[in-house]
Structure 1
Amino acid sequence: MTHLLRAATIYTGTDILKDGWLAITEGRITGSGTGPIPNQYAYATVTDIAGTIVPGYVDIHCHGGGGGAFGGSGDAALERARTALNTHLNHGTTTMVASLVTGAVPDMAESVKTLGPLVDAGDIAGIHLEGPWLSVAHKGAHEPTLLVAPTPQDIATIFDAHPGAVKMVTIAPELDGGMDAVKNFVERGAIAAIGHTDASYDEAAAAIDAGADNVTHLFNAMNPIHHRIPGPIVKMLEDERITVELIADGVHLHPAIIKHAAQSAGRGRVIFVTDSMDATDMADGDYLLGSLEVSVEAGVARLKSNGAIAGSTLTMERAVQYAVTVAGLDFEDALAAATTTPAAALKRTDIGNLNEGARADVVVLNDDLSVHKVYRGGELVVER
């Protein structure tokens, strides 16, 4: 049975439909247009939407939310994962990649094995390994004693725990075996993301040549720009082969930096991520990120041990709002960073857009860009 949504403005990811409509059949977009609804849909149910329709948000770097975090084993781990997914769904994220913080290799393999069925079912779009192949010099909120150089054996242990589940790996490519590891990830069909790295400009260039095609939270956990020692950031912004993640929360990055990076890289290369932890949508207080103690005050998460930023309590809803209203990005640029560009990074054409054949993941925004309704697979799952 076909159902139509009609709204004054619809952003499909490729077009802007004024006085537009979407046709949804069996959870997929089967048609779209502007003006009067064609006679072929005369018997379809039509819902008039008060608000702007956009594609569902795609978050490729998220550790948790609502008190639930990704990782661990058994039914409890699956329940925590579902809690995190539902928390972010309430804020417009209809596609999520589950990020794991650094752990011992056997433990990370067990987490992949546990979460793998959620990938198979389409509940999550894949698993992101943020560790253990990171630089101690830029460890951020990762346990330094668990950080190691990559080996083919350890890579196989984690990836083969549930083949096809790992879709992205953050790596410091300057580590021993790092460049070979980048090639290994790419050969296995995963995104190789440069991050938590002490890499130089030249080492970043070599990693991109080896196949790295994303950057984990640009600017954070890497060498800064210096006029005589440019570091990796300049290379990452200038090289069109690589996308760059930005955490648009006003904590990780100054709004001027968000705008500068977005303008430098251009639409199609910027990806908004939340990097959020289980404290998202929760009260301030004490939490754990992996094995590390975190204190959340005024929504800002920091390690108790040294005050370092420890993930975030951001949602994609607030990231888009902040990017537009504070950082000054054009709405279409911000929307692309939350939808079409992360979908393209995952090599998915069925998400992040509202074109014919895509999954009917629809978000309805109010004038202030807050989320009013969320449809996933054509089904209304959130109404606020």
Structure 2
Amino acid sequence: MRSVFTADRLWDGRKVVESPVIVVEDGRIASIASRKEAAIPAGELHAFPGLTLGPAFFDVHIHGSAGHDVMEATPEALLTIGNFLVKRGVGAYLATTVTAPIDATLRSLNGLAKLIEKAQEGAQEQITTWPIGIHLEGPFLSHAKRGVHPPDLLLAPQIDVFDRMFEAAEGHVRLMTLAPELPGAAELAAHATAKGVRVSVGHSNATAAETDPVLAAGATSATHTFNAMRPLDHREPGILGVVLTRDDLFAELICDGIHTAPELVRLWWKAKGAERAILITDGMAAAGMPDGQYMLGGFPVQVANGKAMANGVLAGSVLTLDRALKNFIEFTGATVENGLRLLGANPAAMTGFSDRAGSVAVGQPANLVAVDAAGRLVQAIHAGRIV
């Protein structure tokens, strides 16, 4: 079946195409042209006048949504999460764990691996979104900046423990958060990097001097910048000073107006720019749900008035990436194209998934979003089908 999509503009992950004509055959992009170059061919036409088409969003840091946590690692849980995310324009995500007992973590990782493999084999025909990898957030985190991660379950970096998790995940771990100041952090960063895992510095009270060796060992990103990080000081810049001033380092941000004030969003944007900034949700099971009590990994979280809290500390968010895009444009005045880059091309480049997410190209699945000038999601498109 052939479908044709038109709009005022297309941001394909690299450049803008004016008046695009995108032809989709059997769920994949068959051709991309401008109306100046080609007539609109026969097929089911979906026109989006006044809007910009772009790649579906890619969330590299999300724990769950729609009442479920990814660590449940069941088909039912991930299908429910995916059905929620696909409607919000998400075409790919990294299933993100939290610190838990090692045996429980291993079981979750193995369950996630099997579901990722099943999705990659094309066994899932539903209009839904499945994870394409795993983000380990814990257990190698700082006690001082642990957030809601259980203190009795945190561990010093251990290569053998990491290897057990990597093997349980059948190689699908793509990102790991690591506190640089912990003994053995640089060694673990080098080991994980050699296995193709991207290391993200975070949940850390590190000084600048303590941060640098882990970056030299291969770390490429920073986990939810500002949150669970040593504060910036004019005499000791700390991990945050390093994150904001290293041009080669990607940096996540939770743009919900709760985790990070708009003024600091603007500072982050000026510091990281269009090539290194990444928008995430850090979303948990309460995303898309009414206020109440929900689980984050193995512990309860209370959600009220848009805040997810556990023991007086923020515990993930109820943010969605479509809302993050709108907030980012509102807070910074950035263009829609820049915003789309932060939700697509940049996370794909950081994780090494540029061949599977973050761009609109011939041969790829037709996973698209249509957004207006304010960054509001108007339509999500999955495998060429209107969601």
Q: Give me the TM-score of the superposition, normalised by structure 1.
A: 0.93
Look up the SS of the partner of 1:71 in the other structure. helix
Cα deviation 1:163-206 (Å, max 9, x = unaligned) = 22111111112212111111111111111111101211112111
Equivalent residues in 2 for 1:64-79, closer than 5 Å:
64-72=64-72, 77-79=74-76
5+ residue gaps, structure 2: 121-129
Q: Is the 8 A contact 2:336 2:374 kept in 1?
A: no
Paired with 1:293 and 1:163, the residues of 2 have a C-alpha distance of 29
| 1:230-279 Cα distance to aligned partner (Å, 9 max, x none) | 10112112222220000000011011111111111111100000001000
Q: Tell me the distance in 2 between the aligned counterparts of 1:38 and 1:9.
A: 15
Query: Contact 2:265 / 2:331 at 8 angstroms: preserved in 1?
Result: no
Residue from 365, 368, 374 that aligns with 2:371: 365
Identify unmatched segments of 5+ residues in structure 1: none
Q: Is the 8 A contact 1:269 1:341 kept in 2?
A: yes
Shift of 1:36: 5.1
1:378 paired with 2:384, answer yes
Select the residue among 339, 344, 362 that pairs with 2:344.
339
Say whether 1:55 aligns with 2:60: no
Q: Equivalent residue for 2:324?
A: 319
Looking at structure 2, the residues matched to 136 and 83 of structure 1 have their Cα atoms a distance apart, in angstroms, of: 33
Measure the CA separation in 2 of the matches of 1:360 and 1:308: 40
Instruction: Choose which of 135, 147, 159 in structure 2 pairs with 1:140.
Output: 147
Secondary structure of the residue aligned to 2:190 is: helix
SS at match of 1:266: helix
What is the aligned partner in structure 2 of residue 356 from structure 1? 362
Shift of 1:72: 3.3
Partner of 2:123: none
Q: Distance in 2 between matches of 1:327 and 1:20?
A: 27
Residue 30 and residue 137 in structure 1: after superposition, are their counterparts in 2 closer, same or farther (change >3 A)? same
Query: Aligned partner of 1:313: which letter?
Result: V
2:161 is aligned with 1:154: yes
Q: Does 1:208 align with 2:225?
A: no
The separation in 2 between residues aligned to 1:106 and 1:11, in whole angstroms, is 44
Once the two structures are overlaid, the 10-residue window that deviates more, 85-94 or 272-281, is 85-94
Counterpart of 2:369 in 1: which secondary structure? strand
| Superimposed CA distance per residue, residues 104-128 of structure 1 (whole angstroms, 9 cap, x where no aligned partner) | 1121111110010222224211011
Give the match for residue 127 of structure 2: none
Matched-pair contact (CA < 8 Å) for 2:24–2:31: yes
2:15 aligned partner: 15
Q: Could you tell me whether the CA contact under 8 Å between 1:302 and 1:310 is conserved in 2?
A: yes
Measure, in 2, the Cα distance between the counterparts of 1:227 and 1:291: 38
> For this pair of structures, how many residues does the alignment match?
375
Task: Report the counterpart of residue 117 of structure 1 in structure 2.
Answer: 114
Asked if 1:271 is matched to 2:283, the reply is no
Q: Give the partner amino acid of 1:347.
A: G
TM-score normalized with structure 2 length: 0.92
Q: How far 1:366 sits from its partner (Å)?
A: 4.0
Contact 1:106 1:158 in 2 (8 A): no
Please tell me whether residue 310 in structure 1 is matched to residue 315 in structure 2. yes
Name the counterpart of 2:174: 167
Is the contact between residue 329 and residue 374 of structure 2 (CA under 8 Å) also seen in structure 1? no
In 2, the alpha carbon distance for the partners of 1:231 and 1:339 equals 29
Structure 2 residue identity aligned to 1:79: E
CA distance, structure 2, for counterparts of residue 260 and residue 150 of structure 1: 31
Q: Which residue of 2 is the match for residue 34 of structure 1? A: 34
What CA distance in whole angstroms lies between the structure 2 residues aligned with 1:181 and 1:213? 14
8 Å CA contact retained: 1:244, 1:269: yes
- After superposition, the C-alpha distances for 1:287-342 in whole angstroms (9 at most, x for unaligned) are 22223332111111111x2x111100000000000011134333222221111100
Give the distance between the partners of 1:97 and 1:23, measured in 2 at CA.
29
Shift of 1:367: 5.0
What is the one-letter code of the residue matched to 1:12?
A: D
1:221 aligns with 2:228: yes
Determine if contact 1:349/1:358 at 8 Å carries over to the other structure: no
Say if 2:90 is the partner of 1:83.
no
Map of 2:198 onto structure 1: 191
* DSSP-derived class of the 1:107 partner: helix
Between the aligned partners of 1:97 and 1:215, the Cα distance in structure 2 is: 15
Residues of 1 paired with 2:383 and 2:114: CA distance? 19
- 1:349–1:25 Cα change, 3 Å: farther
Contact (CA 8 Å) 1:169, 1:193: kept in 2 or not? yes
Q: Which residue of 2 aligns with 1:107?
A: 104
SS at match of 2:287: coil
